């Protein structure tokens, strides 16, 4: 019995789960199907079967496949932005903040590979609703870093945003390259390399009250 089906049946009879628990179960099943088959090939029948529920039960929670897919994206996009904000708030050491930003992407792609594939490698990225959510991850992570840069330096928002976008872009592209290349560099070493590269640039900007 898959994890998505846990709690679905007991002694051969359906178990009535609280609505929030059922929704979580259905999202887990949908994620497995979408990652394995892609959005276009996945069917609601497949998702219901994976979850161990009837299609009417599935439709009680999600009116269609797109709504189900978007709900999954919302969950993972919000989690990624929260991860980045947590990295910025975890310390006042700016080098460690840079390390945290890099690590947020490496952890996401390494420990939550299914979620990463849904957000960044979706076969539905041209859909406006999907594109909006993917863009929201990028803009949310950039905003978190921008706020931190502006709090510590005299840079304008436009300049801080440009720096933040460079850090986010480097972290995402490097993490994807690292996985696609078979993780040939140990994860801590990969994160340290990117941190050193990024920190050497960002550290050149003086803090409030300092002179360049």
Tell me the per-residue pLDDT of 38-67, one tens digit each, with 9 for 90 and over: 888 999 999 999 999 999 999 999 999 999
162: domain CATH number is 1.10.357.10
Helix (H) or strand (E) holding 13: strand 13-14
Q: Answer yes or no: are the C-beta atoms of 41 and 55 closer than 8 Å.
A: no
Structural domain boundaries, residue 187: 67-202
| Residue bearing tokens 């594109």 | 131
Q: Is 64 helix (H, G, I), strand (E, B) or coil?
A: coil
| Residue bearing tokens 């991850």 | 137
Query: Which residue, 177, 12, 139, 148, is CA-closest to 86?
Result: 148
Instruction: Tell me the pLDDT tens digit for each residue of 111-140.
Output: 888 888 888 877 787 889 989 988 999 999
Q: How far is CA 149 from the centre of its chain?
A: 22
Q: Answer yes or no: are the C-beta atoms of 26 and 51 closer than 8 Å.
A: yes
Is the same domain home to 45 and 74? Answer: no
Q: Give the whole-angstrom CA distance, residue 209 versus residue 207.
A: 6
Whole-number pLDDT of residue 6? 45
Instruction: Tell me the pLDDT tens digit for each residue of 59-96.
Output: 999 999 999 999 999 999 999 999 999 999 999 898 89
Is the same domain home to 152 and 52? Answer: no
Is the same domain home to 42 and 54? Answer: yes
Q: Give the whole-angstrom CA distance, residue 139 versus residue 121.
A: 17
DSSP 127: S
If one counts the domains in the chain, the total is: 2
Q: How confident is the model at residue 200 (pLDDT cuts 50, 70, 90)?
A: confident
- Torsion angle of C-alpha atoms 112, 113, 119, 124, degrees rounded to 10: -140
Q: Answer yes or no: are the C-beta atoms of 174 and 194 closer than 8 Å.
A: yes
């Amino acid at each position: 019995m898959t994890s998505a089906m846990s709690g679905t049946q007991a002694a051969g009879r359906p178990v009535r789960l609280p609505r929030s628990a059922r929704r979580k179960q259905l999202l887990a099943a949908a994620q497995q199907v979408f990652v394995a088959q892609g959005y276009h090939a996945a069917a609601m029948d497949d998702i219901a079967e994976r979850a161990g529920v009837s299609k009417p039960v599935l439709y009680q929670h999600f009116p269609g496949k797109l709504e189900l897919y978007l709900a999954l994206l919302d969950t993972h996009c919000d989690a990624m932005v929260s991860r980045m904000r947590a990295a910025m708030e975890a310390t006042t050491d700016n080098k460690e903040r840079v390390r945290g930003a890099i690590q947020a992407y490496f952890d996401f792609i390494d420990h939550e590979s299914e979620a990463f594939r849904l957000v960044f490698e979706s076969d539905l990225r041209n859909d406006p609703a999907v594109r909006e959510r993917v863009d929201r991850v990028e803009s949310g992570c950039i905003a978190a870093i921008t706020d931190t840069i502006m709090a510590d330096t005299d840079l304008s928002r436009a300049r801080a945003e440009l720096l933040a976008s460079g850090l986010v872009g480097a972290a995402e592209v490097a993490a994807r390259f690292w996985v696609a290349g078979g993780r040939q560099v140990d994860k801590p070493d990969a994160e340290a390399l990117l941190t050193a590269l990024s920190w050497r640039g960002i550290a050149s900007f003086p803090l409030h009250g300092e002179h360049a």
